[in-house]
Amino acid sequence: MTDDLVWLTRAADYAARQHVGQRRKGERAEPYVNHLTEVAALLAETTEGSDLVLVMGGLLHDTIEDTDATVEDLQERFGADVAALVAEVTDDKSLPKEERKRLQVETTPVKSRRAKLLKIADKTSNLRGLVNSPPAGWTEARLRDYVHWAEAVVRSCRGLNAALEAAFDEARAAARVRFDA
């Protein structure tokens, strides 16, 4: 238990430092770390705190994609399981955005259980963000597009955790009301 707390707070501290100065795209421009703690909390609650690697992965899931962290850094600091999970949910940033989005739909079905749960939590947080604080300058069509894409990614992650799916479906329903998506 004590060890778990040390690992968890270490991951939260590292994530906050790595993403320092970054903000969410929404009009409220929340600190980026709010997204990470939301994803981690969703994962912890819906798995009843049973999977430390998963929750650490939630905190760290964007460090390779959006900061200077590497898989090796994560491996050294947090071990092979956490590093592999984050690598699994990291897009290849050398590819154009549309291609990355297409690949997420295509590759998510063959990903690990943890990666799929992380995807659901990530998309849930992102949809909540769109509803509560839509990015300035996004057209309704772009917002709807995002909602449909998130739904397509989550489709292949279903059947693993009912509580997490329910959280996604609730965010999805709110997006439907807000954007007619």
Judged by CB, which is closer to Zn ion: 3, or 34?
A: 34
List 7, 14, 115, 122, residue binding Zn ion (CB under 5 A): 122
Residue 42: phi, psi to the nearest 5?
-60, -45
Least distance to Zn ion, CB of residue 60, Å:
10
Residues 6+ apart with CB under 8 A from 144: 179, 180, 181
Which of the following is catalytic: 30, 65, 73, 169? Answer: 65
Residue 23's DSSP bridge partners are: 31
Q: Which residue is nearest to Zn ion, using beta carbons?
A: 122
Residue with tokens 């690949």: 103
Pull the structure tokens for residue 126.
């992102």
Instruction: Determine whether 13 is an active site residue.
Output: no
Instruction: Determine whether 165 is an active site residue.
Output: no
Map residues 46-65 to x or -, x wherever contact with Zn ion holds by CB under 5 A: ----------------x---
Binding residue count for Zn ion, defined by CB under 5 A: 2
Answer yes or no whether residue 38 interacts with Zn ion by CB under 5 A. no
Judged by CB, which is closer to Zn ion: 61, or 143?
A: 61
Q: What's the first-to-final CA gap in the chain, in angstroms? A: 43
Least distance to Zn ion, CB of residue 1, Å:
28
Q: What angle do CA 28, 14, 47 make, to 5 degrees?
A: 80
Least distance to Zn ion, CB of residue 122, Å:
4
Choose among 170, 180, 121: nearest CA to 145: 180
Query: Half-sphere exposure (CA, 13 Å, Cβ side) for 10?
Result: 14
Least distance to Zn ion, CB of residue 173, Å:
21
Which of the following is catalytic: 51, 66, 73, 151? Answer: 66
* Residues identified as active-site: 65-66
Residues near Zn ion (CB under 5 A) are 62, 122
